[in-house]
Every structure is written in C-alpha cells, then in structure tokens.
Chains A and B, each alone.
Chain A
Amino acid sequence: MNCVKCKELLVVYLEGLLEESPKQEVTKHLKECRNCQEELEQITNLRSRLVKNGVTVGQSDLEDDVMNRIVHEQNVRLKAVSKAGEGLNLRRIIMKSKITRFAAAAVIIFAVLIGIHSITGGTPTFAQVIKPILKARTVVYDFIIGDEESNPVIMHEIVVGSRIKRTISNLPGMTQIIDMETGKMLALNDVDKTAVYVDIKGMLQERTRGYIEFVREVLMDLKDSPKIKELGEQEIDGRKAIGFSGRGNNNQELKIWADPKTAVPIRVELRLGREFFVVFKNFKFDVHVDESQVSMKVPEGYKLEEAEVDFTKGTEEDFIESLRIWAEVLLDGKFPDAIGTERYMKQMPLIGEKLAQSGLSKDEAEKLAMALPRGMFFLQLLEIEDKYHYAGKGVKLGDADKAIFWYRPEGAEKYRVIYGDLSVKEMSKENLPK
C-alpha cells in the first residue's frame, strides 16, 4: 500500500468501516510510514476535539426553554385573537384537517348547484344547441369558477339524472356525490377512506329552486327576442365554434358556444355577478356511466365518519365568523384583498393546512368547519345578485374604525355595515362609507 491510498482510507479506517483485509494493509502501512502516522494523529486530534466540543454543546438543554416559549407565544397569539373577536376559543379547539377538508369541499356545492341548473335551463334561442343540455341523461364536463388563466380550480363533474359526482383539482382525493332530489351529499376522502354525509336541504334547496325559476323566466323572456346576439364563428378551446349570447333582466350574461356542424355545445360561460363568473367546458353528452359511480351508499372499505354536517343555512353570523377565520388563520390578522367564491376555492387547501396547524378539537372544529362554508354560502347569494360591497383590503382584524363590508338584506330599508372588529351597524344609504 502506498501513502496516497492509505491517506484516502484513513477516515474509513477510523470510522471502523474497513473490511478486514484492507484494514490489515492500512495497519501495516501505518507501522512502517512515519508520514502517514502523523496524518493519522492529526485527524485523531481533530476528531477528539470535535467529540469533546460535541459533548460540551450537548450539555445545553434548550428543550424546556423552547417549549415554554412556544406555549407563551401561542398564548400571546391567542390573546390577540380573542381580543379581535368573540366566538370561538381557539385555545380549546383542536382542528382535524380532515374535517376542514370536508367542509372546504362542501362549500363548492353551492356554486355548482346553481351552475348546473343554469345549464339545464339552457339558452333558449338556439334550440338545437341547448337540446343536448336539456335532454341528455348524462352530462360530463369541467367546471371553473372565475379566471381560467390564473391557476384555476377545475371541477370535473358527471351528472346522471339528479345525481352529480364531482372531483376537484386542488383537493385531490376528495370525491363528492350529490343527490339533488333528497338534498344530500356524500363526501368521500379517498386517501384515508372515510365518508361523511352532508345535509344540503332547506334554505339552499329553496334558493336553488328559486334561482332556477328565475333563470327560466329570463330564458323565456329572451326566447326569440332580439336580445339574443349571434356572436358568429370563432375559435374556442382550439376548435371552430358558433356562439350566442344573451343578457338576463338583472344583467346575468350567458354565452354558449357550439360545434357549427353538429350543434353540440362546447362551452358555456355565465357571468352571475360582478365578481362571479363560471365556465363549463369539455362536454360529453349521454356517455355511459355506471350507476355505482353515483351511488349514495358508502363504498365498501370506507368508514363513515360520525359527524353529519349540516349546510342548510347560511347567516350573516356565519359569514362574519368566516371572515374572522379567513383573516386570523390564513392571513395573520389581515383581511383579504378581495373576497368571493373564486378566491375562496383557491384558498381551500391552505385553509385545511393552516387550521390543522393552529391545532384543534372535535366540537369546536365542527363549529368552525360549518361556519366557513355557511358564511361563504351567505356571500354567494349576495354575490350572484351583486348586492354587496367589500372594502377589507389592507384592514387589520380588530380595527373598529374601518368598514370592511356592507349589504342591504332582502326587503330591508337600511344597510348592514361590518367593521374591522367584526361589529355590525345599521345605516341608511347616505351614511355608507365612500
């Protein structure tokens, strides 16, 4: 063995990782070579210095200090939180991300229920174009709320009769099956094989029905009227298409694009409010779908979670709570720059993550998980009718001087104004913030 080889092997030798025969060779060479002996000594010295220092450093024990600081800091944060708004005592809340995921996913049903009915309502003037939408027993398509260009959340849906099966692009592993007739949703978590039933009866169903009737009225109104515009031939989603557009009485704008030869719809765009815009595309009509795909039974191997989630109502109180959660949990105490369904959907995975991290318990978790989607449901109803104003950009949670949101409840004279500290005042129109 030569010196180069020996020096190369010294570390391995010292670590006791050398096989028997090279080990003997190194030992032998070391006996004969003064130079390599010195090298070994140097390394050994350095190593023992490292070990010694390692031991000294290892004597410091930060554990208790760190844990105490964490508890202390947590308390400071929680105090800031409870000052900002009453309601949930986060300290006691141990949130399981699973529930939040269900809750977050459930929010979408509202938007989509509305969306689907506007499809089945159809565009009246181009009878051939809307025929497949009206008549098909199964419809498969992608559904997007908001801007398609910037990171859209895409829902893939299969509609069979009154059943809908849905998957969502930013919540992989979540499947929802909705039965419109009974007002129930089965939410499945494919990752941990759990299932939960969500009740969507009551106000939601009523409102949905009311909305369809409204759409139908608009459509009847538009039928054969000069209000329908032909948009001519254009390239849509990479193919030739013929388009029509119409505007409802409350400015809802509907565009439908179809194959010019077969009249099969390619794309439907629906603007329901200033900030609320939906797109349906990649249609397939009357493809075969196995009944089991849209079954409301809990699939074999899935565990049914005890909690039955109820989304039948959405009140101002729920909305305020969801604003608070949004600011506090997602944005470190600041209100979002803008709100709305599109924003909310993009935030869903983050909500699950953040809530899970703030660490929480079953009771309060459920309460929280309800408040979020219900609050967003409340907003959605206003969103569709463009009946609210949001001014929370740059406002901190707890700021009592700044109005962040106002709207006029159905049939009321006065406006309700929500402030940064989440207090609410009634106000006549003249006194509204500018």
Chain B
Amino acid sequence: MSETDKYYIERCLDGHPDDFRYLVRRYQSVLLAHLAGKLGNRDSAEEAAQETLVRAYFNMNKLKRAGSFFSWLLGIGDRVVKEYQRKEQVRRQREVVRSYSEEAGSPELSQDYALEAAIAKLPETYRRVVLLRYYGNHSCSQIAERFEMPLGTVTKTLSRAYVMLRESLQQQKKQEVYEV
C-alpha cells in the first residue's frame, strides 16, 4: 500500500489488474469528496466515483505521466460529473411537469453538503491541496513532496483556501436565509 502510484499503474499495465485495488483505496475518499461537492448528492457521487475509477482503469494507457495520476483522475471525474448533470437536467425537466400534483422531494443531500459544495467551488490549485489534506490523509509535507512545492507554499495555499471556504460557506448561509 505504500508503493508509489507509478508502481501500481505499471503493475496494472503489466497484466496485474488486481493491483488497481490499491489505487482505488488510496483515492476513493478524495475523489468522492470532489464529486460530492459537485453533484450535491452522496448517492450520485458514489456512482460517479465508481464510473470515474472504472474509466480510469480502462484508459490507463493514455496517462502520459504516472506521477499525475491524481489530477488526471479528478479530470475524468469532472467529465463524468458533466455527463451526470446533463442527464439530471433532462430528468428534472420531466419531473417539473409531474410535480404539480405531487410534492417533489428535494434530492437527498449529504450531511455536510454546504462544505462539499464550497470545496467544489475552490480553484483547482486550492482544491487539490484541501482534498489531499482532509480526504486523502496527506500531511502538509507529503503534499509538498507530491506537487514538488515548498512546504511554505502548501501552508499558504491551505490558509488561503480556508479564507475562501469560510466566505463561500457564509454566502451559502445568507442565501438560505433569503430563500426561506
């Protein structure tokens, strides 16, 4: 479990598909958090995360640099989300027609949807650090190593991310009040 991404990727490409398991273990939470924020629904997020990982597995030969597996995975996740959202839009439009007669239950949000949505809104540079720190269980120095940046940059990025998250959470709160 402590091998590098590159090692597992090469193992998979070398005919040991079962080693993909370790990459799933390593990134499922990060990916899930990333997708949950965008989809706002834990069930869809899980579904999308599965889809993303399966796609990643079958396209692994297209990955140019094994070191960038994480960013690449999130990129696939984003495409999956877009597809889901398109489908969801169609479904909702149909639902609107029906909902005149029945109370349309709002989609079941995850416990801390506000937080996940705020993370999803962060710019990429900040989001990946937050995701790895809290969902990938990386320490700051591990993150520094992974992205080849000075430790100071990691803490500054985190610090700035906290500010943005707080702002975004506050705004959401205001909106809720307004909507009610």
Contact = CB atoms under 8 A, between A and B. Distances in A.
B178 interface: no
A58 B159 contact: no
B134 interface: yes
Interface in B136-159: 137, 139-140, 151, 155-156, 158-159
A46 interface: yes
A129 to B, nearest CB: 46
Given A49-B112, A354-B61, A67 B24 contact: yes
Contacts of A97: 13-14
Nearest to A51: B134
Interface in A43-67: 43, 46-47, 49-54, 56-58, 60-63, 65-67
Interface string A344-358: 000000000110110
Interface of A is mostly: helix
Given A11-B155, A46-B165, A54-B135, A62 B49 contact: yes
Nearest to A61: B28
B140 A17 contact: yes
A361 B137 CA distance: 37
A150 interface: no
A69 interface: yes
Contacts of B112: 49, 52-53, 56
A67 B61 contact: no
A389 B169 CA distance: 66
A354 B32 CA distance: 29
B130 A50 contact: yes
Nearest to B61: A357
B76 interface: no
A70 interface: yes
A96 interface: yes
Given A49-B112, A57-B29, A62-B46, A70 B15 contact: no
Nearest to B152: A12
Interface in B95-140: 110-112, 115-116, 130, 133-135, 137, 139-140
Given A11-B159, A53-B116, A54-B135, A67 B20 contact: yes
Interface of B is mostly: helix
Interface in B152-180: 155-156, 158-159, 162, 165-166, 169
Given A54-B29, A57-B36, A70 B54 contact: yes
B50 A62 contact: yes
Contact of A357 (B21, B29, B60, B134): B60
Contacts of B20: 66-67, 70
Contacts of A361: 15
A339 to B, nearest CB: 22
Contacts of B61: 353-354, 356-357
Contacts of A46: 162, 165-166, 169
Most buried by A among B46, B116, B140, B155: B155
B72 interface: no
Q: Which 7 A-B pairs have the closest CB atoms?
A: A359-B15, A94-B15, A11-B159, A54-B134, A50-B134, A357-B61, A58-B29
Given A15-B140, A66-B24, A361-B15, 7 more contacts: A10-B159, A53-B33, A53-B111, A62-B24, A65-B50, A74-B17, A359-B14
